[in-house]
Structure 1
């Protein structure tokens, strides 16, 4: 019996925490080798290492919402602590906190979007049902009823 006679196992989906962690670091949620982003917030069409299609993700408004939630809690806590503990001049408060808030939000936006893409991959959402190298017999478009002739999914006239 040779190695080619052994049955090959289908690639397994990466777990939730691992996929989100890889996405947070800007890596492919499936293999962890390829990069998710081509530009600052532009997700690549596919992973260059394993071929996982990434173009169909739907992160939409969740990453900015999460970033606002996280940054507001951090900055709000720090402002409260600074006001209660020290007598800081108003000019410093008005110049430092907006810049700190903007910097923190920009620093967190890409990692949080990557984690959301990893979450969608791990849960098989928005076209992440298939894994790289695995094709269904009928194809996902046939299963969804799309004929590929420009239908928008709004129904037939």
Structure 2
């Protein structure tokens, strides 16, 4: 397998842009998501079937651990540095954690789907096409 097999064909968005903006890996249309972090069944522009890719819930576990550690470290630092009342922690960390988890989950799930598409991976595939 050469390194050219994993490169993006002409006209397709690069992996980072596609993951950040929810772009279809084939045509670049903003059709990857059908909800906050739920994939659409297929691209409305080019009909690429997103259900053939098995992203699963793997990103959720890693994001929970990573974001939880970051938030815990920040909360401890804020407490030790400024000693704010408890309500300040609730106002700071609950929305920040929510936004970070949702944004991170969207990006991680999109990145994995796009990587599977670019490498022609798929669930249940027995041979290379």
Could you state the TM-score of these two structures normalised by the residue count of structure 1? Answer: 0.59
**How large is the RMSD of aligned CA atoms in angstroms?**
2.9
Question: In the alignment, is residue 24 of structure 1 matched against residue 24 of structure 2?
Answer: no
Aligned ranges 1:106-117 → 2 under 5 Å: 106-117=102-113
Match of 1:56 among 45, 52, 55: 52
CA distance in 1, matches of 2:97, 2:37: 19
CA distance in 1, matches of 2:75, 2:44: 43
Higher fraction of helix: 2
In the other structure, the counterpart of 2:41 is 45
Aligned ranges 1:1-157 → 2 under 5 Å: 14=8, 18-126=14-122
What residue ranges of structure 1 are gaps of 5+ in the alignment? 1-11, 128-139, 145-157
Would you identify which runs of 4 or more consecutive aligned residues in structure 1 move more than 6 Å? none
Q: Is the 8 A contact 1:36 1:43 kept in 2?
A: yes
Which digits, 9 at most, give the CA deviation of each residue in 1:3-23, with x for residues without a partner? xxxxxxxxx9628x9235303
Inter-CA distance 25–35: structure 2 relative to 1 (3 Å threshold): same
What residue ranges of structure 2 are gaps of 5+ in the alignment? 1-5
Q: Is the 8 A contact 1:20 1:29 kept in 2?
A: no
Which digits, 9 at most, give the CA deviation of each residue in 1:5-47, with x for residues without a partner? xxxxxxx9628x9235303311111222241112233322322
